[in-house]
Amino acid sequence: MANLFDLRRTAPLALGLLLSGCGVTQGIFGGGHPKLGEPTPAKPVIGFAVAPVPQAALAARRILAEGGNAADAATAAGFALAVTLPSRAGLGGGGACLIDLPKSDGGTGIATSLLFPPGAPPGGNASASRPAAVPQMARGLIAMQARYGRLPLATDLAPAEAMAGGGVAVSRALAADLGVVGTALVADPAARAVFAGPSGQMLAAGDVMHQPDLAATLTQLQSSGVLGLYRGRLAEKFVAGADEAGGGLTMADLAALKPQYARPVTLERFGYHMDFIPDAGGLGAAAGIEALAADPAALAQAEQSALAAAQAARHGAAMDRLPASASFATLDSRGGVVGCATTMNNLFGTGRIAPGTGILLAASPTGITPPLLAAGLATRDGKFRAIATGSGQQGAAMAVAAGLANAVRSDEPMPQPVPAPGRANVIGCAGLLPGAPKTCAAAADPRGFGLAIGSN
């Protein structure tokens, strides 16, 4: 079994990894006798995490157990995904988050969104052999953590750093992505060192993946924060490595793009206030919710409405060949919630790692149609009801619409799967939170390999 955080924590986490064979749903559990091989927890955890890779959900749960809030847990999950699912959530990529934290944690009482997609270099990289996007993942997650987090950044990054440095078992989700790209990654020496075995074969599920260069980068971020990657020696090293890998990035490119907070798209439907990420994916999800509110059984019509709205937001761009993405969500005991979607603008981005940094480069969005980054939140009188995050190429927006609509009309977080090809991750509290924590539950899409975990 791979070392997830450190050797002292291997035993209690091993049981969680056994749940990774399919999407797993869990309500609040715990409070009874510890399971065989599991020590009695030092203190109770109140909150939830759901992610497409079990190790990321477990990292978020660890942070909740240490007193972190939903923003801390989401930061831990996001960086853990950068280690365990770099095909869709690497540090070279980016994403978008929907955030609703109480005033005690820096919130305003209303939801906000944070946009940090992997962007096109302002200076252009037309001469690059494999044009790379400007990395925004670390910048976005650390911006959120700095504004809302309760714990030190180093604590939130510790699970990811330990997995990168000590080795982590290849998840079924990553193994599936490696199966799609085949041996294309082995053309890059740095990528081959991470994703292939000694004889050049691609790693399989359960094999141990080591990323010492990425661990060193995460250690630098722990001590110096986001500026450690965007200024100074590490930034210069990254730019030089990106250039060596054909990415064509400059120091000026790193400084030019920054995460942006924005007002969500809002609706009042099904008796709840609903917020969505204000991009094509969020607009599509909102259109799908409107259609479902008019007729909950009209799934086909709602899918058409969601896709049409997303396409209109993209000025008519085709929606049939969108890049891969991933999504995750976290909830804390005070009703603080974060839902995020991430991407590399292509499966494994450019397929090249900036040597010496461990950072897989995302593909430049120039010349491609970016993925639909979608998440939706339902509240009533400022109290949390449900959050849904989506992936699945052109089905991501409808995944959020159907996932959120299903959750608010049921006591279960995911009473039925969302329409394919969409995939959803959902957390719901039928009795609202704060107020009724024992009505809360979470679900990872049953057709994936993720984990939904919670405790009281």
Q: At 262, which amino acid appears? A: A
Which carries the bigger pLDDT value, residue 373 or residue 3?
Answer: 373
Tell me the helix, strand and coil percentages in the chain, rounded to 5.
Answer: 40, 20, 40
138: part of which helix (H) or strand (E)? helix 137-148
Helix (H) or strand (E) holding 310: helix 299-313
CA-CA distances (angstroms) from residue 437 to 44, 88, 335, 430?
13, 32, 9, 9
**Average pLDDT of 349-377?**
96
pTM: 0.91
In this predicted structure, the answer to whether residue 190 has a pLDDT above a threshold of 70 is yes
Q: Which residues lie below 8 Å from residue 13, measured CB to CB, with a gap of 6+?
A: 4, 5, 58
pLDDT in tens, 119-174: 999 987 767 899 999 999 999 999 999 999 999 999 999 999 999 999 999 999 99
So what's the pLDDT on residue 43?
Answer: 53
Separation of alpha carbons 225 and 215, rounded Å? 14
Residues in the chain: 456
* pLDDT for position 264: 98
Q: Which pLDDT score is estimated for 27?
A: 37
Query: What pLDDT sits at residue 39?
Result: 43
Q: What is the pLDDT of residues 224-265, one digit of tens each?
A: 888 888 888 999 999 999 999 999 999 999 999 999 999 999
| CB distance 398 to 376 below 8 Å | no
CA distance 274 to 375: 10
pLDDT tens per residue across span 66-102: 999 999 999 999 999 999 999 999 999 999 999 999 9
Q: Residue 14 pLDDT more than 50?
A: no
pLDDT reading at 25 higher than 70? no
- Write the pLDDT tens digit of every residue in 30-67: 233 334 334 444 455 579 999 999 999 999 999 999 99
Q: CA angle at residue 382 from 71 to 274, to 5 degrees? A: 85
Whether the link from the prior residue into 39 is cis, omega within 30° of 0, is no
Q: What is the mean pLDDT of the chain?
A: 90
Per-residue pLDDT band at 2 (split at 50, 70, 90): very low
Nearest to 193 by CA among 213, 178, 166: 213
Put the strands of the sheet holding 272-276 in their side by side order: 25-27, 440-444, 423-433, 383-391, 374-380, 272-276, 265-269
Q: Contact 10/39 with Cβ under 8 angstroms?
A: no
Predicted confidence (pLDDT) per residue in 327-351, tens digit? 999 999 999 999 999 999 999 999 9
